[in-house]
Amino acid sequence: MPTRRSGALAHRDSAGSVAVQVSKSTLPQGRYTVSRTGDLMTGGEATVAALIRHGFGTVYGLPGIQNDWLYNALYDVRNQVRVLHTRHEQGAAFMALGAALSTGRPSVCAVVPGPGLFNAGAALATAFALNAPVLFLCGQIPRKAIGKGLGALHEIPDQLAILEQLTKFAKRAARPSDIPMLVAEALTAMCSGRPRPAAVEIPMDVLAEREQVGEFPGLPEADRPELDAAAIESAARLLGQSQDPMIFVGNGAQGASELVGILAEALEAPVVGYRTGRGVLDSRHYLSCTLPEARPLWQHCDAVVALGTSARGPLKGWGESRQRKLVRIDVDPEVHRR
Domain match, 259 and 192 both: no
Residue 18 has pLDDT above 60, yes or no: no
Q: Quick check: is 253 in a domain?
A: yes
Asked whether residue 100 falls in the same domain as residue 194, the answer is: yes
Q: Is the pLDDT of residue 54 over 50?
A: yes
pLDDT tens digits for range 173-227: 999 999 999 999 999 998 888 899 999 999 999 999 999 998 888 887 766 666 7
Same domain flag for 208 and 81: yes
Distant-in-sequence contacts of 120-126, Cβ < 8 A, 24+ apart: 120/89, 120/90, 120/92, 120/93, 121/166, 122/90, 122/93, 122/94, 123/90, 123/93, 123/94, 123/96, 123/97, 124/93, 124/166, 124/167, 124/197, 125/166, 126/94, 126/97
Q: Which residues, 6+ apart, have CB-to-CB distance to 215 below 8 Å?
A: 37, 180
SS3 73: helix
The residues facing 83 across adjacent strands are 59
- The Cβ-side half-sphere exposure at 22, using a 13 Å CA radius, reads 18
Q: How many domains does the chain have?
A: 2
Residue 29 falls within a domain, yes or no?
A: no
The residue among 117, 31, 27, 120 whose CA lies nearest residue 81 is 31
Phi first, then psi: what are they for 139, rounded to 5°? -70, 175
Sheet holding 107-111, edge to edge: 82-85, 58-61, 107-111, 134-140, 198-203, 169-172
In a domain, 90, yes or no: yes
Residue 102: per-residue pLDDT: 86
Query: What is the H or E stretch that residue 45 is in?
Result: helix 43-53
Statement: residue 304 has pLDDT above 70: yes
pLDDT band at residue 5 under the 50/70/90 scheme:
very low
Residue 118 shares a structural domain with residue 166: yes
CATH of the domain at 70: 3.40.50.970
- Calpha distance 186→184 (Å, rounded): 5
Distances (CA, A) of 248 to 45, 236, 241, 245, 323: 45, 16, 18, 10, 18
Q: What angle do the packed helices 115-129 and 89-103 form, to 10 degrees?
A: 20
Q: What's the domain range around 200?
A: 40-212
Q: How far is CA 90 from CA 101, 104, 109, in A?
A: 16, 21, 10
Same domain for 191 and 86: yes
Asked if residue 1 belongs to a domain, the reply is no
Same domain, 60 and 144: yes
Q: Give the tens place of pLDDT for each residue, 225-279.
A: 667 788 889 999 999 999 999 999 988 888 889 999 999 999 999 999 877 888 8
DSSP string, 7-40: --EEEEETTEEEEE----B------S----TTSE
pLDDT at 175: 96
pTM: 0.80
Q: Which residues, other chains included, contact 189 with Cβ-Cβ below 8 Å and sequence gap of 6+?
A: 168, 169, 198
Q: Are residues 206 and 236 in the same domain?
A: no
Residue 9 has pLDDT above 70, yes or no: no
Question: In angstroms, rounded to a whole number, what is the distance separating the alpha carbons of residues 114 and 126?
Answer: 19
Indicate whether 134 and 264 sit together in one domain. Answer: no
Sign of CA dihedral 312, 329, 25, 98: negative
Displacement of CA 259 from its chain's centroid (Å)? 21
